[in-house]
Amino acid sequence: MGQANYNAKRPGYKHFTEAERYKLEGFLEVKLQVPEIAKKLNKHKATVYREIKRGLIDRISSSLEELTVYRANVAQKDYQTKVVNRERSLKIGKDKDLEEHIRKKLLVDRYSPDAIIGEIKAKGIKFEGIICTKTLYSYIDRGIFSGISNASLWEKRKARKKKYKKIRRLKKKYQMPKRIDERPAEINERLEYGHWEGDCLKGPVKKGKESLFTLTERLTRQEIIIKIKGSRQSEILRSMNDLEIKYGPRFVDKFKTITFDNGVEFLDWESLEESSLWQGDRRTQVYFAHPYSAWERGSNENHNRIIRRFIPKGKSIAAVPESKVKEIENWMNNYPRKILGYKTPNELVLEVTKNRFRVLD
């Protein structure tokens, strides 16, 4: 053998494909010997022998003679069955409690695979064995869990974060609100509790004017969802007034600042800043993101995307009862986040505020 053709590396092992099984069936029917078949299929002869054994079946010939023959469809069915049942030989196969925990979290609690594994490790939940996030995604991809596939997941693993450019807008002659560029470092770097991002989720106009006013706290990712009658300035102001009445003197510490997008429903920013309980006092500071820069309110936009899992675009918000809105809010505030060390927003709120604020029920 020439030096150019020499390779000391052992050839990799590959399973028979379905097409190769039908080729094998044809070669056997024309009485080819196993060494010759192995050469044609580029397989080791021992592999061919094992494959023939897998697909052997008894048949009755036209002369009523019993024959044992190889059938590709029988071998393929046997292979697929063993792939599905391979769970028993996997890391998770011996721990049915872990399997049931994962199944419940995926299908009932709607957790992502990463949230499931992260919560187990963060809270020290004990099982006989444990798998990593990558392995769990692999098991789901391969169909290891019966009844669970990628269709059971809301989304696949995230790609790399995109890079964004700031879009600046020229100042107009009239008085402008404060822009996001004017926010202090403790807000931008998420150093303290009480800084929020807000938006308005709208449904199809033909199915009702009801909308959702959403607020997301930047440090803890705590979420507040309020169903409003329409995406009007008066409805946003009424919701803010209701929140101030609910929290009273604590409002100014809980809602230090709010960063909105440039929607018309937030144009009455001066009224949003002014207290409804103590005349002349300012209850919060409003900032506005740059136009076409939703990424500047990334936490709120991400939460809006989560809400859309429960209320898809095109679905009437008017048809969603208040109880369902509250259920979505509770789910989001009790969902463990990787970015929070797999703590829930409610847990982190209690931790960072030292119980000064009541966690939303």
What is the full per-residue pLDDT of the chain (361 aa) written as tens digits?
Answer: 455 544 555 556 678 999 999 999 999 999 899 999 999 999 999 999 999 999 999 887 777 788 889 999 999 998 888 776 655 556 666 678 888 899 999 989 999 999 999 999 999 998 887 888 988 888 888 777 877 888 778 766 555 555 655 544 434 434 568 999 999 998 999 999 999 999 999 988 777 889 999 999 999 999 999 999 988 999 999 999 999 999 999 999 999 999 999 989 999 999 999 999 998 899 999 999 998 888 999 999 999 999 999 999 889 999 999 999 999 999 999 999 999 999 999 999 999 987 555 444 4
**DSSP character at residue 208:** -
Q: Which token pair is 114?
A: 């990463």
d(CA 1, CA 7): 10
The model's pTM is 0.69
d(CA 193, CA 187): 9
For each of the domains in the chain, give its residue range(s) and CATH number, in order of start.
Answer: 12-84 (1.10.10), 90-152 (no CATH), 178-353 (3.30.420.10)
d(CA 314, CA 296): 26
Is the distance from CB of 333 to CB of 360 less than 8 angstroms? Answer: yes
